[in-house]
Structure 1
């Protein structure tokens, strides 16, 4: 088993694994595509809420696009108020109604979307990005308890599990800057930033 693991150590398309484990080049690329897809999803959510591009943010109650961009965060709109006010249900409804539109909730949410999105897209800071992304997904799951189509599972929990897997499998090393990032003095000093 040691021979198998060592024979792939020099290949840039195969990440170093524990002894006897080898992730194939196809699997590494599949993980990279998944990582980049999640990263772009977080970045898109950030941009849509920042600028009210008319997809999830910037539509009025009839579904028409608000051309003035009043809902844009840059124009004073709240990225959390609509979802937490009108989407919250279940045991945490009161909590989420209380924090809906709070400046600190808006700021944390937007910084989280941007940071997670950039880190996943670039393949850097995967430990923190996948942990923060998984936490954000679980929190969003708690907003809509119980889920509409299943008594327990929904896409938020599946997204959280996927992010945990991406972080555990070093998905930032393929088609990303994960390896170069890991060699920086900052990351060597604080490995949690890997």
Structure 2
């Protein structure tokens, strides 16, 4: 067995070995994906909170008494969870859970901290939204076309897979606070917080 000197080992860290490790370019690309995906969640939170006029007008913002879940969930007209979504539409706990989820996932991904929790939360949120839109169905309960363009893989699925990929590749370590976060004593004791 050969012992490699420090300078040689440092040089090997910068060699791009195909299939052996993430290259710097790949790590940077994942960092861009991480921030972009985080911004999707954070922007939804900001628009629904302040009514910035994109998907939520100012008069229906959360701060002006609007419900971030009522409009979407009460209009669910397809899928096996239709009744459940109608029941929770506009409930204070559903509004708070949804908005805290958007904020938490967005901030965690943008900063590159708590990536595992963010990934689990993103998967749960995207699964619920997938079931609300239920792309498997071609027709609503009223018999109208759903305009589903793909029965399985839609943007909810892509966001969920992206969040999991980002957590599994430690994407928060590049252009994020992931390295610092992972060295905190509390995080060291509770590795699921990484």
Same fold judged by TM-score > 0.5? yes
Q: Is 1:92 aligned with 2:85? A: no
Contact 1:88-1:97 within 8 A present in 2 as well: no
1:65 paired residue number: none
Where do 1:113-192 residues align within 5 Å? 113-147=102-136, 148-192=148-192
Question: Alpha carbons of 1:73 and 1:10: their partners in 2 closer, same or farther (altered >3 Å)?
Answer: farther
Q: Partner of 2:81: helix, strand, or coil?
A: helix
Deviation at 1:186, TM superposition (A): 1.3
Unaligned runs of 5+ in 1: 15-19, 59-68
Structure 2 stretches lacking a partner, 5+ long: 137-147
Larger radius of gyration: 2
Paired positions, count: 174
Instruction: Show structure 1 runs of 4+ deviating over 2 A.
Output: 6-11
The worse-fitting range, judged by mean Cα deviation, of 172-181 and 80-89 is 80-89
If the length of structure 1 is used for normalisation, what is the TM-score? 0.83
**What displacement does 1:150 show?**
1.4
Change (3 A) 1:32 1:8: farther
Normalized against structure 2, the TM-score is what?
A: 0.83
Partner of 1:30: 29
